[in-house]
């Protein structure tokens, strides 16, 4: 429905142009600063190339997300929401607060979903605009005064984050083995077997990349280990879903 409004695509084009302009601005500024401090040009080129390649694979879920959301909100709004800050998981959860499968989509529904998705994500930029400098300054002070404590806090936060994610995946996979769980809001079935297969496949692929770096000295793989793991896990999930459906 939103495809009928040319203004939506005009807004999407303007936003995309601003993002590209900001990216180019920071690239040129970073390269100029790197030259000022005497950084070798080959290092700069390698960094730019690796960053460009590294950004391709994480963009695949975003493209998939646009395909999921466009059936409810249209291509224009889905494109606008996923070309800026945000994540596929968050956007779908926010959208589902208003839009559900089988529901008749109206102008009010689309507008409400867009407002919810936009206002909710603004908390990050608002926090950074008001508190980030002070927060960054405090972190720098703590790093200087007590580096050991800072490293401990950082490691604890990272460990807690990974523990929460891993435990949620394992528990969700183990307790849904043999019994597909259909989400009420999306109608999508979740298979515990697929979750576990995908999880262990990604672990094995990452371990394999690490062994290749260590045994064969493939230093270049450091920049490709995560994209390779993501693609490999997606392939494993694809074939696993075909087996259990």
Question: In this predicted structure, what is the pLDDT of residue 139?
Answer: 75
What gap in Å lies between CA 167 and CA 46, rounded to an integer?
37
Which helix (H) or strand (E) segment holds residue 185: the answer is none
Which residues, given as ranges, of the chain have pLDDT below 50?
1-3, 185
Residue-wise pLDDT tens digits, 193-244? 888 888 899 899 999 989 998 888 887 777 678 778 878 888 888 888 877 7
Question: In this predicted structure, what is the pLDDT of residue 25?
Answer: 93
* Contact present, 153 and 146 (Cβ < 8 Å): no
Question: In this predicted structure, what is the pLDDT of residue 2?
Answer: 41
The alpha carbon of 81 is separated from its chain's Cα centroid by a whole number of angstroms, namely 13
Question: In this predicted structure, what is the pLDDT of residue 103?
Answer: 62
Question: In this predicted structure, what is the pLDDT of residue 86?
Answer: 64
Question: In this predicted structure, what is the pLDDT of residue 3?
Answer: 44
At 189, give phi and psi (nearest 5°).
-85, 135
Long-range CB pairs of 81-88, under 8 A, 24+ apart, other chains included:
81/114, 81/117, 81/118, 83/12, 83/15, 83/16, 83/19, 84/15, 84/19, 85/121, 85/124, 85/125, 86/117, 86/121, 88/61, 88/62, 88/64
Task: Report pTM.
Answer: 0.54
């Amino acid at each position: 429905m939103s495809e009928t409004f040319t203004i939506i695509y005009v807004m999407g084009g303007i936003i995309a142009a601003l993002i590209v302009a900001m990216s180019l601005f920071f690239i040129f500024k970073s390269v100029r600063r790197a030259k000022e401090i005497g950084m070798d040009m080959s290092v700069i080129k390698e960094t730019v190339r690796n960053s460009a390649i590294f950004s391709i694979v994480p963009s695949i879920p975003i493209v998939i997300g646009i395909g999921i959301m466009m059936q409810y909100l249209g291509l224009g709004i889905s494109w606008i929401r996923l070309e800026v800050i945000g994540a596929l998981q968050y956007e779908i959860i926010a959208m589902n607060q208003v839009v559900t499968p089988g529901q008749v989509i109206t102008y009010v529904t689309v507008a409400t979903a867009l407002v919810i998705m936009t206002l909710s994500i603004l908390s990050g930029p608002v926090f950074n605009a008001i508190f980030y400098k002070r927060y960054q300054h405090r972190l720098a002070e703590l790093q200087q005064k007590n580096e050991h404590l800072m490293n401990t806090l950082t490691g604890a936060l990272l460990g807690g984050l990974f523990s929460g994610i891993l435990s949620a995946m394992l528990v969700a996979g183990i307790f849904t083995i043999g019994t597909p769980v259909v989400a009420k809001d999306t109608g999508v079935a979740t298979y515990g077997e697929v979750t576990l297969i995908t999880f262990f496949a990604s672990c094995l692929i990452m371990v394999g990349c690490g062994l290749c770096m260590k045994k064969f000295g493939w230093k270049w793989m450091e920049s490709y280990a995560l994209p390779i793991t993501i693609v490999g896990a997606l392939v494993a999930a694809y074939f696993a879903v075909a087996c259990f459906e």
